[in-house]
Structure formats: C-alpha cells, structure tokens
C-alpha cells in the first residue's frame, strides 16, 4: 500500500432510481470513473452536457499505475483547466538515456525546442490525476458520480442501452441514450456485448517496483539493456513526485509472479539496481507499490457500436513502453467529447460519431504498431532477434546512424488524423488533421500561449493570419494573429505561430473544438467557411 | 532497384575478409558481427525499397533450409 498517498473515499449516494419500477432515464452514462471516463465527463460538462458516471469502486487508482503524461495530454488537461496542477506537482522531463551493459549507448531529447507551454512529459501518479478530475467534475455540477455502482448487464437498444447496476443498497436500471464505455481493459460492457478483442500476446513478464527514497538521479528516463545488475533483461527508471521512483524490471516469461512479488526479493533487486546504477551504496528506501504484469496489443474492430462508444483501455491496449495507453485514452476522450456534444445539441447528425472510428482507429493502429515494435526490440524472440538488438546497441555508442534504431519505447505522440472525413482537402502548411502546435504570443502586452485561445469557448476556431474574413458563420470564433502589434489581435512576436502552422498572410485555418486542423483556407468567403464547418460537423 | 549482376572485382578477397572476421568468434558473437555488418551496409544503401527487395530475395533463396 502506498505510504505517500492516502486514497480518498467518495460517498455512495442513494440514487433515485433504486427501488423504482421503471428504469431511470439518462441522456449520457459513462461506465468507469478512471482517467478516460472522468476526462470525458469533464469535457462534456464544460460543453453543457450532463452525465451519469458509474464506477464499482469508491476511490481513485490504487498504486501509481500510469505515470507518464505526454505533452498533448497536458494540453488537453490545460484546455480543461487542470494543466497548471500537472506542471506544479508533476516531474517535468524531456531527456532519456539508454544504457547497454556497462555503458551509456546514447541520450535523446524529446522536445529540444523552446516556446511550448508544456514539456514533452510530466510524470505523475495516476491517483492524483483522477482525484483532480473528480474534483473538477464535481465543481461543474453536471457530473453525477455514482460510486460503488457496478454494471452487471448491458443490453444494446436502438435508442441507447439498458444498464443493470448493483449497489450496496440494491439493484436498479438506467436507460441511457448514449453509453460511453470507459471501463478499462476488462470492460464489462465489451464482454456484455460479446465483442471480439483480439491481438498479440507477448510472452514476457515485468515487475513494477515503486520505491520511496531520496536519490540523486536526474529527472530523466533511464533505460538499461542487459545491465550487470540485472543480466539478460531490461530495466527502466522514472522519477515521480513525493520522492517516489518507478523501477520496471523485465523478468522473462518463466518468472513466477507470486515469487517475484515477495518483498525480500523485490528489495534485493532494487538494491542491486541502485548500487549498479550509481556505483555507490544504495540509499535507504521503502517499497511503495509492487506489481507484476504481462501485456498484449489488441483493439476492438470498431469503437462505435450504435449509441455505445468505447474509449481508452476498453477499446484498445498496448504495452506500457511508450506511454501510449493512458495518453491514447485521453486523446479518445478529446476526440469524442465535442462530437457527442454537437450531436446532443442538434448541431450535427449522429453520423458525426462515425468519424470517431475513422480518426481514432488509425491512431490506435499507430500506437499498436509502435508498441509492438518496441516490444520486439526489448524482448527478442529468437537468437537472430537477440543478435540484431545487441548489434544495434553496440553500434549506437559510436555511430550516430544506429541510434534511431535503438527502441526502448517510442514515446507517445499525438495522432495526426490523416484520413479524416471531416477535413476539407486543399491548401498547404501544417498537415490536415494535425494536433495544434503551441507557440508564445503577446496579448495586449501579456505573454500568453496560443493554445489557450483555441477552442476554449467550446466552438470551432478560425485562426486568421494578418486579416480576418468580413463574414464568419455562427459557431466559429475568430482568433487573429498578426506580425506586428494590433488591437484585438495576438501578436506573433517570435514568428513561431506562422512558422509552426506553416501559414502566410491571408491564411485562415479552421480548427475543431478539439483544436485539430480541419481546413486550410485562404481569404475565404462565408460560403467556403460554411462548407468547411459543415463538413467538419459531419453534415452531408 | 537492387542490383544483382556481378559487381565484385575480387570476389575471393571479399569471401576471405568475411571468413577472417568470423574466424575466432563463437556462434552468438558471429551472429552479432553479421548483424552489425548488415546494419552498416543497410545504412550505406539507405534506400528502403532496395533493402526490402534484398530482404525478400534473401528470404526466397534459402535452398534446403528448413522452415
């Protein structure tokens, strides 16, 4: 049990529907109050959409679990008003180092350029993220969090889903017009619908040891292949807040999980690692959380099933190397929130939600591909794979060309929605479907970040360079960026907005409420804007 | 386009150099040497289409190898 964190206990409130003869009706039900479910609930609430969130437990995550929050995730949490908390509490890092046997093979920097609000990564225990999301959800007054409420059955209906729930005070049912299944890798909803969830199983086991100690390692990701203190296997070290360190030991397929979890055994592994890595006596440490895991890479064939939509681990799973699980889940939520809100507000047809599959399935496949490749490098499957892996590491310390071949995890990058049917073809510059590059701007003399101005009112944004069109349809907010200081405009004083977006004077870029690029227009008239806006809303 | 016509001015010398490099190595070290060699040459070639062609051709000409 963690010693640095006390799990909050959220109260069970007796729901009105308990004991009622007819099922309770709810427009939106979210199954699972994890990172993904809570992010969706918060995003929907900020768009004025109420939801009921059910979770079988009454607290946040046990143990640190997901710890690496990627830049795009931080930007999304920034849009939802939580970004500063991550920056204040979390451990910021962008550098990684890779060691092979006794020596450093190479180091890398994931965000070498300046001028972004958020770093490449912030490390933070999952329970903090969830607790803050719960707080933020409660503050909206639109999220009905129902703890100690387990889904026992689900029946799909044309008009939504009928959920059977069990609570400490009895059972009841909810008829949901929309059901968002964010109930994790063992999703009850997925199993209830009997949806195939297939993919590759990896024959390897890993041990997570979170330890509390005062150590002198820098805020970097350190990865060892075949180190003397853990021969033949890999080890990963990450720093977390509260003096907690994540050490991840590869164990091999034959390891016995029960034996490996025994504290004496974990302590001796950690001690050997600390002494081996620093060349000094290990500092005193305490075990905070221990877990032995295996993993697989798999996904649902489709994430939308009528009015039931899957997001996060219930829809897809990857290996942890690359931090592509939790971060992908938050991007799912980011993608789905505005679309569902637009459909519920009558601004878009239900077909808009098909684009969730069109956009997030390629993104998932990209994550699975990267994750599978990393795993193949970290866990060689035969002597030839072992030879190639070691050859790459041998060459990497002296030959720059071999360094990009080293794969200790390809760390999460936001998906560019290349094949999106919502994008209007044409124009040039930043790729259509791309996530928004941040940049510093001056707003009436104040230093601010561009991303704070994009989609924060929930609408589409027209990012205009130099001049704004005379007529802009409703539902689109204009943000004007200028090369020199002008009233009512953001001053691109460093020139980084134009550079990073690949834009020139007269360009008008249409951004969706999730800030992804939907159209690259030049001095558009109202008809062109309306067409691009309609297309991005899935209108025929 | 992968070139497969005879291009070596002194094939015996190449063969000898390869044998020489492997002479005192155990099987695992030999494998690593070959792997380093493949990686160095692949980087020198630098053209993914040519490399894919070479991999496919090498895989297809495994006369007598058991699957």
HEC string for A232-258: CCEEEEEEECCCEEEEEEECCCCCCHH
Is B67 a member of any domain? no
Q: Which CATH number fits domain A440-536: 3.40.50.280, 3.65.10.10, 3.20.19.10, 3.40.30.20?
A: 3.40.30.20
Residues of chain A with confidence (pLDDT) below 50 = none
Cα-based distances in Å from A22 to A154, A172, A174, A353: 16, 9, 9, 29
For helices A383-396 and B27-45, angle between their N-to-C axes, nearest 10 degrees:
60
Is B38 a member of any domain? yes
Q: How far apart are CA A225 and CA A392, in angstroms?
A: 11
Q: Give the number of other Cβ atoms within 10 Å of residue A407's Cβ.
A: 18
Is B11 a member of any domain? no
**pLDDT value for A124:** 97
Is B4 a member of any domain? no
Residue of chain A whose alpha carbon sits nearest to that of B36: A391
Task: Decide if A415 contacts A362 (C-beta within 8 A).
Answer: yes
Q: Confidence band (pLDDT; 50, 70, 90) for B67?
A: low
User: Strands, E, within A120-159: which ranges?
Assistant: 121-123, 143-146, 150-157
Cα-based distances in Å from A380 to A202, A324, A369: 11, 21, 16
Cβ separation of B39 and A390 shorter than 8 Å? no
Q: How far apart are CA A2 and CA A268, in angstroms?
A: 19
Q: How far apart are CA B38 and CA A387, in angstroms?
A: 11
**pLDDT value for A278:** 86
pTM as predicted = 0.95
Distance between B39 CA and the closest CA of chain A, angstroms: 8
Contact residues, chain B, for A401 at CB < 8 Å? 43
Name which of A189, A194, A157 is nearest A25 in CA terms: A157
Cβ separation of A395 and B28 shorter than 8 Å? no
DSSP state of B6: -
Cβ separation of B39 and A405 shorter than 8 Å? yes
The domain A206-293: what is its CATH number? 3.30.70.2450
Q: Give the number of other Cβ atoms within 10 Å of residue A191's Cβ.
A: 13
Distance between A395 CA and the closest CA of chain B, angstroms: 7
Is B52 a member of any domain? yes
Q: Which residues of A lie closer than 8 Å to B, measured between beta carbons?
A: 383-384, 386-388, 390-392, 394-395, 399, 401-402, 405
**pLDDT value for A540:** 87
Q: How far apart are CA A368 and CA A442, in angstroms?
A: 40
For helices A326-344 and A354-378, angle between their N-to-C axes, nearest 10 degrees:
180
Q: How far apart are CA B48 and CA A460, in angstroms?
A: 41
Is B39 a member of any domain? yes
Cβ separation of B36 and A395 shorter than 8 Å? yes
Name which of A65, A120, A102, A104 is nearest A248 in CA terms: A65
Cβ separation of B34 and A387 shorter than 8 Å? yes
Q: How far apart are CA A254 and CA B54, in angstroms?
A: 36
Cβ separation of B32 and A392 shorter than 8 Å? no
Give the three-state DSSP class for B62.
Answer: coil
What is the domain extent for residue B48? 33-59
Contact residues, chain B, for A391 at CB < 8 Å? 32-33, 35-36, 38-39
Cβ separation of B31 and A387 shorter than 8 Å? yes
User: Per-residue DSSP letters for A154-214?
Assistant: EEEETTEEEEEEEETTEEEEEEEEEEEE---TT-HHHHHTT--EEEEE----EEEEEEEE-
Write down the CATH superfamily of domain A24-91+123-198+296-370: FAD/NAD(P)-binding domain (3.50.50.60)
- The answer to whether B34 contacts chain A (CB < 8 Å) is yes
Is B20 a member of any domain? no
Name which of A414, A450, A369, A335 is nearest A40 in CA terms: A335
**pLDDT value for A1:** 60
Is B50 a member of any domain? yes
**Using CB atoms, which residue from A387, A392, A399 is nearest to B28?**
A387
So what's the ipTM on this one?
Answer: 0.96
Domain count, chain B: 1
Distance between A81 CA and the closest CA of chain B, angstroms: 45
**pLDDT value for A216:** 84
For A380-396, what is each residue's pLDDT tens digit? 999 999 999 999 999 99
Q: Which of B35, B46, B48 to mutate to test the interface with A (most CBs of A within 10 A)?
A: B35
Residue of chain B whose alpha carbon sits nearest to that of A402: B39
Distance between A377 CA and the closest CA of chain B, angstroms: 14
Cross-strand pairs, A38:
none
Domain ranges of chain A: 24-91+123-198+296-370, 206-293, 440-536
Q: How far apart are CA A246 and CA A94, in angstroms?
A: 16
Contact residues, chain B, for A382 at CB < 8 Å? none
> What are the structure tokens assigned to B50, written together?
């040519």
- The answer to whether B53 contacts chain A (CB < 8 Å) is no
> What are the structure tokens assigned to A123, written together?
């490390």
Cα-based distances in Å from A160 to A26, A176, A191, A309: 10, 6, 17, 10
The whole-number average pLDDT for the span B34-63 is 96
Buried b (16+ CB within 10 A) or exposed e, A514-526: bbbbbbbbbebee
């Amino acid at each position: 049990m963690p010693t640095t964190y006390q799990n909050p206990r959220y109260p069970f409130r007796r729901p009105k529907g308990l004991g009622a003869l007819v099922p309770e009706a709810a427009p939106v039900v979210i199954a699972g109050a994890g990172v993904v479910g809570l992010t969706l609930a918060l995003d929907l609430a900020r768009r004025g959409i109420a939801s009921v969130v059910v979770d079988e437990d009454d607290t946040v995550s046990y143990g640190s679990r997901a710890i690496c929050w990627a830049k795009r995730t931080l930007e999304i949490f920034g849009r939802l008003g939580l970004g500063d908390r991550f920056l204040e509490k979390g451990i910021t890092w962008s550098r990684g180092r890779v060691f092979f046997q006794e020596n450093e093979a190479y180091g890398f920097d994931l965000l070498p350029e300046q001028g972004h609000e958020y770093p490449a990564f912030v490390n933070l225990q999952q329970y903090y993220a969830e607790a803050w999301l719960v707080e933020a959800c409660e503050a909206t007054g639109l999220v009905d969090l129902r703890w100690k409420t387990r889904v026992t059955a689900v029946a799909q209906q044309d008009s939504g889903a009928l959920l059977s729930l069990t609570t400490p005070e009895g059972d009841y049912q909810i008829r949901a017009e929309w059901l968002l299944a964010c109930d994790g890798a063992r999703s009850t909803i997925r199993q209830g619908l009997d949806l195939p969830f297939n993919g590759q199983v990896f024959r390897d086991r890993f041990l997570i040891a979170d330890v509390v100690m005062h150590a002198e390692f820098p805020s970097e990701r350190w990865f060892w292949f075949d180190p003397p203190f853990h021969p033949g296997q890999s080890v990963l070290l990450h720093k977390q807040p509260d003096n907690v360190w994540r050490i991840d030991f590869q164990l091999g397929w034959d390891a016995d999980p029960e034996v490996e979890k025994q504290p004496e055994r974990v302590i001796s592994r950690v001690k050997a690692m600390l002494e081996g890595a620093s060349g000094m006596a290990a500092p005193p440490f305490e075990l905070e959380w221990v877990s032995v895991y295996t993993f697989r890479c798999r996904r649902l064939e489709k994430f939308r099933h009528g009015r039931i939509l899957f997001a996060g681990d219930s829809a897809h799973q990857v290996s942890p190397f690359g931090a592509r699980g939790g971060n992908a889940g938050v991007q799912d939520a980011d993608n789905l929130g505005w679309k569902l809100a637009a459909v519920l507000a009558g601004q878009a047809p239900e077909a808009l939600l098909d684009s969730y599959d069109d956009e997030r399935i390629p993104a998932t496949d990209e994550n699975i591909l990267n994750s599978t490749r990393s795993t193949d490098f970290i866990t060689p499957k035969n002597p030839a794979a072992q030879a190639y892996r070691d050859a790459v590491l041998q060459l990497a310390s002296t030959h720059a060309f071999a360094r990009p071949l080293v794969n200790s995890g390809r760390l999460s990058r936001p998906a560019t929605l290349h094949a999106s049917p919502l994008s209007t073809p044409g124009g040039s510059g930043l790729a259509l479907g791309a996530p928004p590059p941040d940049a510093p701007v001056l707003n009436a003399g104040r230093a601010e970040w561009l991303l704070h101005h994009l989609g924060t009112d929930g609408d589409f944004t027209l990012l205009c360079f130099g001049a704004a069109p005379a007529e802009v349809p409703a539902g689109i907010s204009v943000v004007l960026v200028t090369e020199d200081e002008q009233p009512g405009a953001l001053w691109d004083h460093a020139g980084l907005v134009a550079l990073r977006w690949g834009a020139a004077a007269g360009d008008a870029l249409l951004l969706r409420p999730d800030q992804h690029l939907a159209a690259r227009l030049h001095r558009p008239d109202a008809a062109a804007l309306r067409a691009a806006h309609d297309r991005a809303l899935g209108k025929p | 386009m992968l070139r497969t016509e005879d291009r070596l001015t002194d094939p015996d010398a190449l063969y000898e150099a390869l044998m020489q490099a492997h002479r005192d190595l155990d099987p695992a070290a030999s494998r690593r040497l070959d792997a380093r060699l493949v990686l160095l040459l692949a980087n020198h070639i630098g053209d993914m289409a040519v490399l894919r062609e070479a991999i496919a051709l090498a895989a297809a000409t495994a006369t007598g190898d058991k699957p």
